[in-house]
Structure 1
Amino acid sequence: PPIYLYSNPSGLERFKDVVTWKPDPDGVFSQTFFRYPYPCGSFVVIHPSGEFRGILGGYPLNQIQVALKKLQRANR
């Protein structure tokens, strides 16, 4: 199941009934995947194999599902 992390809680209020957000522990994910600030949010999907896909900056929500499917196919 996905884990939703944030580095800045601003703007998350509108998703509180849909997603349980957790703070990025010690900024590990921000420093690893999002070294520079991007407007309109970003995401990364990490497979247990360590392979990952993401988008930096704005994206349509269906891109998260596309990233999940590509990682599942690549790691069969």
Structure 2
Amino acid sequence: LDDRDERPGSKFKDADLLGIPFRVMLGKTWEKEGKVELRLRKEGTTLTFDYGQAVTEIADMIQTEMRITEEVVG
């Protein structure tokens, strides 16, 4: 959670520099639609999920990323 008093662009840039694999964005527009936006750094793609679906999808992606990391690190 990046709660610094910075513009979103600065926060996004810093997250990319730190290698944060996922970026979850909750904005006013998405809130009205009941959506969550998920940015995948490696793939450079952005996905949109309904609130109810988002937690499950994000948890699955984190588990997959952890398995891949464990295989590489050994």
TM over 0.5: no
Whichever of the two has the greater Rg, that structure is 2
TM-score range, shorter chain: 0.3 to 0.5
TM-score, structure 2 normalization: 0.35
Higher relative contact order structure (alpha carbons within 8 Å, sequence separation ≥ 6): 1
Q: Which structure features the higher share of helix residues? A: 2
What is the TM-score when the length of structure 1 is the normalising length?
0.35
